[in-house]
Amino acid sequence: MSNATINHQFKLAARPNGNVKASDWSHTNEPLRAPVEGEVVIQVLYLSLDPAMRGWMTDKPSYIPPVGINEVMRAIAVGKVTASKNPKFAIGDHVTGLLGVQEYAYSNGQGLTKVDPKLAPLPLYLSTLGMPGMTGYFGLLEVGQPKAGDTVVVSGAAGAVGSVVGQIAKIKGARVVGIAGGADKCRYLVEELGFDAAIDYKTENVAEALKTHCPNGVNVYFDNVGGDILDAVLTRLARGARVVICGAISQYNNTTPVKGPANYLALLVQRATMTGIVVSDYYDRAGEAAMVMAGWIQSGKLKTREDVVDGLDAFPQAFDMLFSGANNGKLVLKVA
Amino acid sequence: MSNATINHQFKLAARPNGNVKASDWSHTNEPLRAPVEGEVVIQVLYLSLDPAMRGWMTDKPSYIPPVGINEVMRAIAVGKVTASKNPKFAIGDHVTGLLGVQEYAYSNGQGLTKVDPKLAPLPLYLSTLGMPGMTGYFGLLEVGQPKAGDTVVVSGAAGAVGSVVGQIAKIKGARVVGIAGGADKCRYLVEELGFDAAIDYKTENVAEALKTHCPNGVNVYFDNVGGDILDAVLTRLARGARVVICGAISQYNNTTPVKGPANYLALLVQRATMTGIVVSDYYDRAGEAAMVMAGWIQSGKLKTREDVVDGLDAFPQAFDMLFSGANNGKLVLKVA
């Protein structure tokens, strides 16, 4: 490893219009260099593939600036320090942060967090103990605020965020209904994760299925997908419902404007509220969440599944899986 | 008055499709009768015309059941008791409640509130001291929660609700921008009501004007109109903004589905919240609000304007004014 001299990277070659094409990426390489004063070099071991990355490729106002053209694509990863001129990091330390889609990353240490590979397998720091887990934890508990007996619905339920949301809602005593694509995912939600019901949006009428599974309405809806599914759930809100807007994966590849929720006046009829969440607002409390969730994982209350794809070269194809729903569990790219 | 023997009424003849047509109403009359035990007869003096009435004509789930076909059209009104077999009400008492679009109403007393014509002119009980005033007061203060220095934007700003919202926001120390249709209304907002700025949506580009008038973004948006104006304001939200959904007058006559807010993901980017309000949730605190607002009216901090149209026969034409924006101030029909 330490003998590597070349760093392979994926850079953003063009701003995609609709679905991301192979030509929107450039596969580049450059010589590795030694760290300058204060810097560390990190070998990337596992890359996190997240729907939010699609938003980072678009040049419009958002919660962070977009990735620039010819810049290494932004991605969260875990890696191992291979060289260090920063007193806070030693060779061999494992760290997580925005390391990018590449084999080696340089960092001044800002935004890097050490992780312990003995406490949990490294991919877990990209899923339940990482950004998706924090998103689910704080989005559900701080914004959704489920109470025992509430009905909680989550879309993208078999994904990295959704599966955490549903399981935490169960831990809090709610009735949980997941919406996911495909019989396998739905079976996983009910049989392995203990959801009360699952709706397969690819074969079922979601509005009708919600009537069946949420006879008293929906108290909390955690939305990862937007579009028609958001509209369907809005028609089933209970009085005083909380809708958590976490993402809108159905809309990210649109070439037409985003489909706004036509049924948003349900917020008025039901005195309900719709609130956006960005996980970075809660990073100062990440330690608290990780401790609680690690406890749930150990006691078997919180299960986690990673879908690991092998090799940096597979990045473009693996990225597409996020939008076709081909992944089962948190999608992770094994780089080294 | 007490010699009347006939009650003229407007009933809902058909469920309108899009704009309400004359043929959707039937103008009927029936003989007056004496009250039965526990009942009062009320002569309707002033009828309130409100955009919400359009929603009451549509047979779909809402916060109250729709008006039935061949039922007297539902409306809030103030009137005078002309006959009573209810010990709580005496002949000559002035009352407000859902008296309907007719000259005389029968009531068992439920939902009737006595009002004092010596304290305020009767139409005021249909505007600032009535449902629209309560809607603005509780919607802004309980849901919008403006703080001193906040920028508050309100649409339908020259209307009965909007003008109360903007003036209360000024009282609370906010910078206030109103959106209304026409130069006269905009001048009224700035010159008479003390708004900091007004945007004429009929002649200005609302998104551009918001950039000019809300350089630090919008902290509270009180929405009465929906549609393109809601979308324009969403692009200007400040971090942690509160959007109050009070109505969507631009959408009520749609024959196509409601236009959902395409920019709703601004809620995520800005960690903002969108919440519906229905005034009846606050009726138990109406006395508190009326006392506070009556004080503001007396001290000249809260101005109010009623647009009084004469005669029950003018009801269909007056009702249309709500949607063309032809009224200046709270639209009231003088029945007797």
Nearest CB among A231, A251, A275 relative to B267 is that of: A275
Residue A2 has a pLDDT of 54
Q: Per DSSP, what are the bridge partners of residue B25?
A: B12
Q: Do A258 and A144 share a domain, yes or no?
A: yes
Q: Do A24 and A108 share a domain, yes or no?
A: yes
Nearest C-alpha of chain A: how many angstroms from B223?
Answer: 11
Which two tokens mark B132?
A: 């629209």
Residue B295 lies in a domain: no
Query: Stretch A261-289: mean pLDDT, rounded?
Result: 94
Q: Do B31 and B119 share a domain, yes or no?
A: yes
From the list B297, B146, B157, B126, the residue with the least C-alpha distance to B219 is B146
Q: Is residue B316 classed exposed, middle or buried when 0-12, 13-18 and 19+ CB atoms within 10 A define those classes?
A: middle
From the list B115, B96, B158, the residue with the least C-alpha distance to B307 is B158
pLDDT at A1 over 50: no
Instruction: Return the residue in A54, A234, A259, A269 with the most chain B beta carbons within 10 A, the one to mutate for interface testing.
Output: A269
Phi then psi dihedrals of residue A324, to 5 deg: -90, -10
Cα–Cα separations (whole angstroms), residue B16 to A207, B52, B57? 26, 14, 7
Distance (Å, whole) CA B237 – CA B214: 9
Neighbouring CB atoms inside 10 A of A131's CB total 22
DSSP type of residue A309: E
Neighbouring CB atoms inside 10 A of A83's CB total 19
For the stretch A315-324, pLDDT in tens is 999 999 998 8
* Cβ neighbours of A269 in B, within 8 Å: 61-63, 276, 278
C-alpha angle with apex A43: A42 to A47, nearest 5 degrees?
Answer: 105
Q: Do B235 and B157 share a domain, yes or no?
A: yes
* Cβ neighbours of A276 in B, within 8 Å: 265-273
Q: Do B168 and B254 share a domain, yes or no?
A: yes
Nearest-Cα residue of chain A relative to residue B226: A265
Instruction: Return the residue in A264, A279, A280, A283 with the most chain B beta carbons within 10 A, the one to mutate for interface testing.
Output: A264
Residue A4 has a pLDDT of 81
Amino acid at B162: G
* Neighbouring C-alpha atoms within 13 Å toward the C-beta of A246: 33
- Whether the Cβ atoms of residue A252 and residue A51 lie closer than 8 Å to each other: yes
Q: Do A314 and A189 share a domain, yes or no?
A: no
* Cβ neighbours of B268 in A, within 8 Å: 63, 245-247, 276-278
What is the CATH number for A165?
A: 3.40.50.720
Distance (Å, whole) CA B201 – CA B164: 19
From the list B144, B195, B140, B200, the residue with the least C-alpha distance to B165 is B140
Residue B299 lies in a domain: no
Nearest CB among A257, A263, A269 relative to B63 is that of: A269
CA A265 vs. chain centroid, Å, equals 29
Residue A42 lies in a domain: yes
Q: Do A122 and A252 share a domain, yes or no?
A: no
Q: Do A214 and A326 share a domain, yes or no?
A: no
Residue A285 lies in a domain: no
Residue B238 has a pLDDT of 98
**Do the Cβ atoms of B265 and A278 come within 8 Å?**
no
Nearest CB among A61, A260, A277 relative to B271 is that of: A277
Residue A287 lies in a domain: no
Give per-10-residue mean pLDDT for chain B (336 aa).
82 94 95 96 97 92 91 97 97 97 97 91 94 96 98 96 97 98 96 98 97 98 97 97 94 85 95 96 90 93 94 96 87 96
Distance (Å, whole) CA B137 – CA A39: 56
Secondary structure of residue A275 in the 3-state scheme: strand
Residue B289 lies in a domain: no
Residue B335 has a pLDDT of 97
Query: Stretch A232-261: mean pLDDT, rounded?
Result: 92
**Do the Cβ atoms of B276 and A259 come within 8 Å?**
no
Nearest-Cα residue of chain B relative to residue A245: B268
Question: What crossing angle do the helices spanning A160-171 and A286-298 adopt, rounded to 10°?
Answer: 70
Nearest-Cα residue of chain A relative to residue B248: A265
Distance (Å, whole) CA B113 – CA B131: 12
Query: Stretch A119-143: mean pLDDT, rounded?
Result: 94
Q: Do A230 and A148 share a domain, yes or no?
A: yes
Question: For B147-157, b where at least 16 C-beta lie within 10 A, e where not — what string?
Answer: eeebbbbbbbb
Amino acid at B101: V
Give percent of chain A with pLDDT exceeding 90: 85
Q: Do A104 and A140 share a domain, yes or no?
A: no
Which two tokens mark B291?
A: 């006392």
What is the CATH number for B94?
A: 3.90.180.10
Nearest CB among B231, B263, B276 relative to A267 is that of: B276
Residue A55 lies in a domain: yes
The A-side interface with B (CB below 8 A) comprises 61-63, 226, 231, 245-248, 251, 257-278, 281
Residue A30 has a pLDDT of 94
Which two tokens mark A332?
A: 């992770």
The B-side interface with A (CB below 8 A) comprises 61-63, 226, 231, 245-248, 251, 257-278, 281
Q: Do A51 and A117 share a domain, yes or no?
A: yes
Query: Stretch A233-246: mean pLDDT, rounded?
Result: 97
**Do the Cβ atoms of B63 and A262 come within 8 Å?**
no
Instruction: Return the residue in A63, A211, A271, A279 with the most chain B beta carbons within 10 A, the one to mutate for interface testing.
Output: A271
Give percent of chain A with pLDDT exceeding 70: 99
Distance (Å, whole) CA A222 – CA A239: 16
Q: Do B149 and B34 share a domain, yes or no?
A: no
Residue B257 has a pLDDT of 82
Distance (Å, whole) CA B266 – CA A334: 34
Distance (Å, whole) CA A82 – CA A102: 14
**Do the Cβ atoms of B275 and A267 come within 8 Å?**
yes
- The total number of structural domains that make up chain B: 2
Residue B297 lies in a domain: no
Nearest CB among B258, B263, B281 relative to A265 is that of: B258
Amino acid at A227: G
Final residue in a domain of this structure, among A241, A264, A280 = A280
Residue B1 has a pLDDT of 45
- Total residues found in chain B within this entry: 336
**Do the Cβ atoms of A262 and B259 come within 8 Å?**
yes
The residue segments making up the domain with residue B257 are 131-280
